[in-house]
Structure 1
Amino acid sequence: MSTPQPSVPAARSARRQAHPGPVRRILRVVLALIASLIAFLAGSIVLGAWIPAIPKAGVIGPVLGGQYPFHIALLALVGLGLGVLAWRSGLVRWGRTLTALTAVSAAFALAIGAVQYATAGKEHTRISFGEVITQLAYPGAVPDDSPTYAERDGEKLKADLYLPKAAQNRSGKVPAIVLAHAGGFHTFDKSDLRGTARWLADHGVAAIAIDYRLARPDRPTWDKAPQDLVTALRWTEDHAGHYGIDPNRISLGGMSAGGTLALDAAWRLKNGTIKAGDGRAPKPPHSVVGFYPGTDVTDMWQRDVAGSRQAAELFTGGTPEQHPDRYRAVSPTTHVTAGLQPTLLVVGDRDRSATPTTIDDLADALCAKGVETTVKKLPFAEHAFDDAYGSLTSQTSRQILLDFLTR
């Protein structure tokens, strides 16, 4: 009996499947490359977030993995789908590895989100997952007023006021906080605070985001910027009645370098060693807040993380060896004494600039003097964690701040 032969069309089809055309071959290669790239990126980010000691991955991991864990998980899941396709189609020999790596990356990214969500729950934070997914940066927010609070060195220093409805309607006196922005003492401005400031106003706290004199190579501001914060406090106190603010509940706070300035100015006011630019001293602030602040400017210079040495030298006009008195004057650790106002310190547990250790050391010194001190460490959070406005950590930090200011 003769063996049946395949028809001519069937034979051609078999040859096409065995030897795909150039377009299909290119698509297969592209698919394999994309799946491999996603696996590498997601794996590196998640690994760095969990183990920040890993070089390079430990720098970017806490930033991306800590601020955007659900986005990283979604990326990993896309990679998982492509990896499965690459594996089942036999496109790459490491298809099974791709699938496993992306699956593990997605799981550990979601675990970061779960830990942060649990922390949010402990702080009684009502999380908006819409914001988590869509609000990746500062939101647009318009201040209710933007007056000039002082003019120094020919520079108009402005404040953006974000007011609760009760303050706008003059229907009650509200607590307030004067906020100083981040930027290593030499960059950025008050607009970086617009999201947090508007959120506070929407929840009953007036927020006054201020500009202060920034350091330049020809103008160190170690003696100017703290004074600008004191002047802004004085201005707020003088205009409290006009804006519906309770003059006895004006706090001072800031982020990063702004937090350093806030702690320094608040405690020097309490100790009577600083005044406003016109020589008048306002009442010391009701409380003081530092979000990931530098606690010792000499330590910032010595460790030189993320440009902190350059920032310290611009701010003080030189090195600690050249200007030891200036470095001491602007370091919050110098001014820890008994009788200081209640203090809130917030830091990410992955922060390499304002490390949790330096924050703990400052808190221990405050507590030893009997100062009411609250420390909040946020998991998988790096420096400037609130840049990702909608993130779980950022939403949690705003609730912590609100609770502290309204208690």
Structure 2
Amino acid sequence: MLTPVLSAHWDDADSWTMAGYERRGGYAAARTALQLQPDALITLVKDSGLRGRGGAGFPTGMKWSFIPQGDNKPHYLVVNADESEPGTCKDIPLMMANPHVLVEGVIIASYAIRATHAFIYIRGEVLHVIRRVQKAVQEAYAKGYAGKNIFGSGYDLEIVVHAGAGAYICGEETALLDSLEGRRGQPRLRPPFPAVAGLYGCPTVINNVESIASVPSIVLGGASWFQSMGTEKSKGYTLYSLSGHVANPGQFEAPLGVTLRELLDLSGGMRPGHKLKFWTPGGSSTPLLTDAHLDVPLDYEGVAGAGSMLGTKALQIFDETTCVVRAVLRWTEFYAHESCGKCTPCREGTYWLVRLLKRWEAGQGSPEEIDQLLDISDNILGRSFCALGDGATSPITSSIEYFRDEYLAHLQGGCPFDPVASTLFAGAPA
């Protein structure tokens, strides 16, 4: 069932080096791609069905095709490696273990959209990852795979590795562009969209690390090969990140459409003696699910049908010892802290959500305040400038939907999962 493509050689002693990558056929895809016409590459990626692996799942080839041609403007490729979503940990291990597959993907994608400059924007806290990607780019330049006249094709490409400054909001693509331009990272009003007026006001494609890293295998394997994996509308392989109360957390590469039950089997199941209570399918900004959703196909349509989003495929697993109110409060504190403050619904709404949730966790809330939580969430959802505000409401509304009784239990002496509380909820251990 596992389909190791991106992670096939992560265990190799020299997986991140140019020598190790070329020994496994590295840069053959780039050589092949640069012999094709750019439009043919865009069509190939379109036909493959590759969808963006950063969260939204927008078709990658279609995004590339939006770049206007013959406009006499520079075109830019920007790789979003600002992996900041709580629970998400797929792009960082990918860049650590195999940075050259990203560099090769950057070369192919840049050529396809006729860009001569590409930027890899990496979260600033992961200095070890930044250094590893910088080294890979240096090795590519040294071999003539980046810079002037790549592979003797006449194509020139400059690749810049840019370190962010630790702002979650810069994972939003237009805030990332503002940060790249030297301004405070805040989302832009759209339209115009980045494909028309992106970096420096020029046509720009912004893709996630995993999306770009998947391109070389598509060039070599072909569209039909990639389509042979996954589901009808969600094609190919992807990386699932399992963390939390599982026996063996980590990255699991599998075709889209695998279920959590199957992934738990691969990871050794829940930690011994415990059972699943709730989980996130795509990081903390996606509505949480419960043990009733173990067999939901983990593709874009299947998870949406269950009332959540696949997002970054960050599967955070929580067992019966976890207080859902406490978990939701911690997430909400994160979003309130990381709000850029540009729009009122997110700036003010997340502040008041934290205030209310703190009261609930301490057992000082009231039944009416559940409706206040839902009302504030409703006033944020769809009214904030970017998806940060929307994401902040997801764990709140979904946790109330599935665990309203647990919220109410906090009114009977505080958090029922606190060892010093006088009562326990649903038999949770002290």
TM-score range, shorter chain: under 0.3
Report the structure, 1 or 2, having the larger helix content.
1
Length-normalised TM-score, structure 1: 0.23
| Higher Rg | 1
Q: Compute the TM-score of the two structures, normalised by the length of structure 2.
A: 0.22
